[in-house]
Structure 1
Amino acid sequence: MDQDKVKISEVAGIAGVSIATVSRVINRKGGVSQKTRQEVERVMVELGYERSSTEGVVGVITPGLAAPIFGYMAERIGLALAPHGLRALICPAVPGGVQERDYVKSLIDLGATAVVFCSASNTLETFDPEVLHLLNTRGMPYVCLNGAFDGASAFSSDDAYAAELSVRHLHQLGHRRIGMAAGPVGNRPADRRVEGFHAVMDKLGITGAEDLVVRQTYSVEGGQFAAERLLTLDVTAVIACSDQMALGAIRAIRRRGLDVPDDVSVIGYDDGPLMEFTDPPLTTIRQPVERLATEVARHLISQLSGREVPAGELLFQPEVVVRGTTGPHPRPAAAR
């Protein structure tokens, strides 16, 4: 049989094992009995299948590694895939850009096993349709994290609920002028958090919330810009849509000669590494990264084993991690 036509799924079918088992044999991983290993090797020889250096590789496309949360997510996905004989290859790229499309092309051409979109073009309302066309026409399995392509499987933090948790935490501390430093328009997680913010503010009977949202980039500079605008509106608390934006908001507050949290409270989102070591430690919404990574790996293994997997987006509940950047509503200056 021509090797170019031999697929890992064919080896698995004839050997009577899962694709994940064949991948373990190909990559010389443990967890396979000697008898099974010998049978898979026999079928590979019979079909003329030769090992490829990219067999068992899963491309994990992220929006870059400057934000610690994406490096952490990619690491956890890699660790969740490893026991199944799969290796994560991290591909940092601007979501929806040419580089992301080039990564997908390269992964397909090199014979990679699957692709994970980790907060990449799957977070955008508009993206390059060629990316999905390439995957679908070549039969490349893929799964999304924190945002879904239409009809695809995805595992995401519940962004609307995250906004509700943030508002309710600050509301319980007495804050009513609560602003949001949100991500850009057209970014699905950011749009959902804004929707959740408006919904809970309405439930709590707080009017004028639509004027207390500033959309900016997910960066320290974006958070600083948004906070500067919000401070002119006399907010006493800022909800930032990423930890980096939260750090930018703290910078803006301090440059005004104000204190966090005595004058203005700040809450972030992600709970990336080192956030407990900032000054003061950052109150934030923690994404359930471990659970998301586990589900991504489980879903991919099911796909590679030929089992039917459900389409649609499964939402996972985040949690508030209370640290030092949120406090009670500030007292009037005269009463201090």
Structure 2
Amino acid sequence: MKVTVKDVANKAGVSVTSVSLVLNNRPSRITQETKERIIKAAEELGYRHTAKEAANEPATKLLGVIHPNCSNPFFNQCVKGIENHAAVNGYKVILCNIENSMERCLGYLEMLADLRVEGIIAMPPIDMNLNDNNMKMGKFFERTKIRLLLLDRAVDRVFCDFITGDNKQGAYLATEHLILSGHRDIGIVSGPREVYNCRKRLEGYKEALVYYGISIARENIYYGDFSSRSGYRAAEYFEERDVTAIFACNDLMALGVYQYAAEHGLKIGEDLSVVGFDDIPYCDLLNPPLTTIQQPAELMGKRACELMIKRISGEEQEPARDTYFAPSLIERKSVKNLL
């Protein structure tokens, strides 16, 4: 009677997945002691694991998703799009919340490799391009050969499918709207310098100012971290500089501006104009409702999952490519017309 991988697993007291990882010499966090026990069990049973058998192992139908920050509704909407499309196509999603920590990101990547996911959709942490973190991620995927798709944020020198919004165009639209409403002293609350999206949004802001003949004032640029707390600090900073409008590079930072205004007797849409970015849920419930740049987050997530599944099935075999979703301006009541 032929010895099976299940027989080896039973004798070694481990899972079938662990046996497969060890006998195929795949990366894992299995201890050396357990590896030796599995190899010994296979030898004692006379088990021979051939390449053909390895190739015929059933697909796991698992996708890994690296989620940078569960407190940001934009990323939650992306995940919704991923999970809904995955479910329709018979895939299950393993969601890993990394709280913008590269250390946690690398740990979860190893775990996903152990679980034999067929692909990983990553929304990287904000420190991905610092301290050679990008190289660490690149080496992981080079070593494991797991399919990778980057969503929203790019990683320097990691080349794979990339899906994002047109960040530069979105920032241009936001800044242009403020300019056409009569504002010339416009502050921007950016995210960290090293994050791809932030660089592009800052470019769009500057390009709009230059096009309309407004000089770029370095003191009107504030670098935050995408949190409402940094938006609050930015509003405090800009109050001393008498800007009439603030473009916040995400809606959470815009919420921080709202909080500062409420605590210091400033009325949004009258004393201070604000435009956000993302159009997260409840922007229309603020007082006043927030004018913002809309990104189709759920659709971006769906597209990411669709492309990943096509890569897995072999239906999509073209070289890796970038996909950009067009942003749109959602006008509400947070901008005062000075004309």
Normalised to the residue count of structure 1, the TM-score between the two structures is: 0.79
1:178 aligns with 2:186: yes
Quote the residue 2:116 is aligned against. Answer: 111
Would you say the 8 A contact 2:163–2:324 is kept in 1? yes
Alignment of 1:1-336 (within 5 A): 4=20, 47=53, 55-95=60-100, 97-120=102-125, 124=129, 127-149=133-155, 150=157, 151-306=159-314, 307-329=316-338
Would you say the 8 A contact 1:97–1:128 is kept in 2? no
Q: Indicate how the Cα distance of structure 1 residues 268 and 145 shifts in structure 2: closer, same or farther if over 3 A, else same.
A: same
Aligned-partner Cα distance in 1 for 2:135–2:99: 15
1:313 maps to amino acid: D
Aligned-partner Cα distance in 2 for 1:119–1:136: 17
Alignment root-mean-square deviation, CA: 2.5
What is the SS of the residue equivalent to 2:133?
Answer: coil
What is the SS of the residue equivalent to 1:100?
Answer: helix
Deviations 1:136-193 (A, max 9, x none): 2211011011123332210111111111010111112111111101111211111111
Q: Which runs of 5+ in 1 are unaligned?
A: 8-45, 331-336
Structure 1 residue 305, shift from structure 2 partner: 1.7
Aligned-partner Cα distance in 2 for 1:202–1:117: 35
Q: Indicate how the Cα distance of structure 1 residues 121 and 168 shifts in structure 2: closer, same or farther if over 3 A, else same.
A: closer
What is the SS of the residue equivalent to 1:144?
Answer: strand
What is the SS of the residue equivalent to 1:60?
Answer: strand
Aligned-partner Cα distance in 1 for 2:318–2:299: 18
Q: Which has the larger radius of gyration?
A: 2
Would you say the 8 A contact 2:193–2:199 is kept in 1? yes
What is the SS of the residue equivalent to 2:183?
Answer: coil
What is the SS of the residue equivalent to 1:89?
Answer: strand
Q: Which runs of 5+ in 2 are unaligned?
A: 6-19, 25-51
Normalised to the residue count of structure 2, the TM-score between the two structures is: 0.79
Aligned-partner Cα distance in 1 for 2:305–2:122: 12
Aligned-partner Cα distance in 2 for 1:82–1:310: 26
1:184 maps to amino acid: P
Structure 1 residue 94, shift from structure 2 partner: 3.4
Aligned residues: 290
